[in-house]
Amino acid sequence: MSQIRVAVIGGSGIYKLDAITVKSTHRVPTPFGDPSAEVMECEVDGYPFYFLPRHGIGHHYTPSEVNYRANIFALKKLGVDTIVSVSAVGSLQEQYSPRQFVMVDQFVDWTKGLRKRSFFDDGIVGHVSVANPIEGGLSKRLYSACQRAGVEAHLGGTYLCIEGPQFSTKAESQIYRSFGAAVIGMTNVPEAFLAKEAGMAYATVAMVTDYDCWKAEHCTVQEIMDVMKSNYLSAQAFVKEAIPDLVKHPVSFEPENGYAVITDPALHTEAHRQILDVILRK
């Protein structure tokens, strides 16, 4: 296991950024199957971190097909304790404009039960609070990195996660706006909750691409893709600020999974122990 503690989970375009050098790749088997891809060991300005393309190389997994458990488990197995999620989102409120980044602090889970969402099943019962799913100190650090990089950003806001892969209807979009949610996406649940179960610091950098469909102006998929290209340029500047800072000054936080498991240890199988040894490791 390496000494690399920071990982970025994001779209396929991130590892192709000019600022990032891919040094090697790691195939990491897990009890939950294969991660989305081999984990990339990368550097930015000489500072190492891991990168995992959430949708696979070439973006071939839909949001519901992503093996979130395998992804988080693989990173924890490699020794990661800090995860930066870089995700494209739609805006549900006027003040969150396309090309801006939002450091979300809460989630509303509007998925439909198709995703494996916990490490605690199949004979292991455990409960971890997700009242505060984002590590606040990490999120503030990422917001500061945006400011240093010249990227317009917001600190705080709720991310509403839908199943996808379709975008919302107008009626749905208006309902989501009435919740007070800031942005809408398809991937950060159960990813954030699994990171919490694994005792990891997790924060989201939500890159706004459009105003969903609630606003009168029509937005095509091509227009969204054009904004995403612009956002990746901003992401490059952000990564160059964020990664060196997190490597030089690791995030201090207290894992909340230490007392999660309530199943009698006498009932734990060898398979259970192999899972718990990883996710409960400090």
Q: List Cβ neighbours of 38 (8 Å cut-off, separation of 6 or more).
A: 25, 26, 27, 28
Asked if 212 is an active-site residue, the reply is yes
- Given the residues 81, 109, 210, 245, select the one marked as catalytic: 210
Centre a 10 Å sphere on the Cβ of residue 12 and count the other Cβ atoms it contains: 16
Closest Cα to residue 136, out of 253, 248, 16?
Answer: 253
- Given the residues 109, 212, 226, 264, select the one marked as catalytic: 212
As a whole number of angstroms, the distance between CA 180 and CA 204 comes to 18
Asked if 45 is an active-site residue, the reply is no
User: Which residues are known catalytic residues?
Assistant: 210, 212
